[in-house]
Structure 1
Amino acid sequence: MKRSLSLCLPLVLAACASQPSTPSVSVPDNLKPDASEARMSVLAARGVQIYECRAKKDDPAAADWAFVAPEAELFDMNGKTVGKHYAGPHWESSDGSKIVGAVKARADAPQAGAIPWLLLTTKSVGGAGAFSKVTSVQRVSTTGGNAPGQGCSTAMLGQKARVAYTADYVLYAPK
Structure 2
Amino acid sequence: MPDFRNATLALFLLLASSVTTHAAEPLPEAIAAPGQTVVVTLHAEGAQVYECKAGADGKAIWSFREPIATLLADGKTVGRHYAGPNWEHSDGSAVAAKVAGNAPGATANDIPWLKLEVTSRRGSGVLAEATTVQRINTKGGKRDGACETVGSFLNVPYSADYVFLRKP
TM-score range normalised by the length of the shorter chain: 0.7 to 0.9
2:85 equivalent to 1:89: yes
Q: CA deviation at 1:30?
A: 1.6
> Could you report, residue by residue, the CA deviation over 1:9-41 in whole angstroms, capped at 9, with x for unpaired residues?
xxxxxxxxxxxxxxx553111211142x21111
Aligned to 2:99: 103
Counterpart CA distance in 1 for 2:111 and 2:76 is 24
- After TM superposition, list the pairs within 5 Å mapping 1:147-162 onto structure 2: 147=143, 151-153=146-148, 156-162=149-155
Asked if 1:145 is matched to 2:141, the reply is yes
Structure 1 spans left out of the alignment, 5+ residues: 1-23
Larger Rg: 2
How many residue pairs get matched?
Answer: 145
CA contact (8 A) 1:148 1:161 kept: no
CA displacement at 1:124 relative to structure 2: 3.3
Partner SS, residue 30 of structure 2: helix
**Partner deviation per Cα, 1:100-157 (whole Å, 9 max, x = no partner):** 11000001112331000000001333222111111001101000000166x213xx01
Kindly state the Cα deviation for residue 79 of structure 1 after the two structures are TM-superposed.
1.1
**TM-score, structure 1 as length reference:** 0.78
Check conservation: 1:51, 1:160, Cα contact below 8 A: yes
The worse-fitting range, judged by mean Cα deviation, of 64-73 and 105-114 is 105-114
Distance 2:78 2:159 in 1: 15
Separation (CA, whole Å) in 1 of partners of 2:167 and 2:114: 19
1:66-77 correspondence to structure 2 within 5 Å: 66-76=63-73
**Cα RMSD between the aligned structures?**
1.5
Unaligned runs of 5+ in 2: 1-23
Query: Are the aligned partners of 2:97 and 2:120 in contact in 1 as well (CA < 8 Å)?
Result: no
Amino acid at match of 2:100: K
Report the counterpart of residue 162 of structure 2 in structure 1: 169
| Partner secondary structure for residue 147 of structure 1 | coil
